[in-house]
A and B are shown apart, each in its own frame.
Chain A
Amino acid sequence: MRENHLKILQYVTGIGLFFLVGGYHLLLMHLGKGDPESWSSVAQRAASAGWLTIYILILIFGIYHGLHGVRGLILELSLPNRAVKVLNWSIVLIGLAVFGYAVYIPIQAF
Chain B
Amino acid sequence: MEAASKTKTTLPNRLGIKGWAWAGRYKIERYLYTLHRLTGFGLLAYVALHLVANGSRLWGEGGWESTMNFLSNPGFKVGEYLVMAAFIYHALNGGRLMLQHLGFTLGKPKPPVYPYVDAMRRRRPLTLALLALIMGLAIYVLVAFIIYR
Contacts and interface: CB of A to CB of B under 8 A. Distances in A.
The answer to whether A and B interact is yes
Interface of A: 7, 11, 14-15, 17-18, 21-22, 29, 37, 39, 42, 46, 62, 66, 69-70, 73, 76-78, 98, 101-102, 105-106, 108-110
A65 B17 CA distance: 21
Contact of A101 (B10, B16, B51, B94): B51
A105 B53 CA distance: 11
A11 B57 contact: no
Interface of B: 10-13, 16-17, 37, 40, 43-44, 47, 51, 54-55, 57-58, 61, 64-65, 68, 87, 91, 94-95, 98, 101, 148
A43 to B, nearest CB: 8
B68 A37 contact: yes
B96 to A, nearest CB: 12
Given A76-B13, A78-B13, 9 more contacts: A11-B98, A18-B95, A66-B43, A66-B44, A66-B47, A69-B44, A73-B37, A77-B16, A98-B51
A42 B64 contact: yes
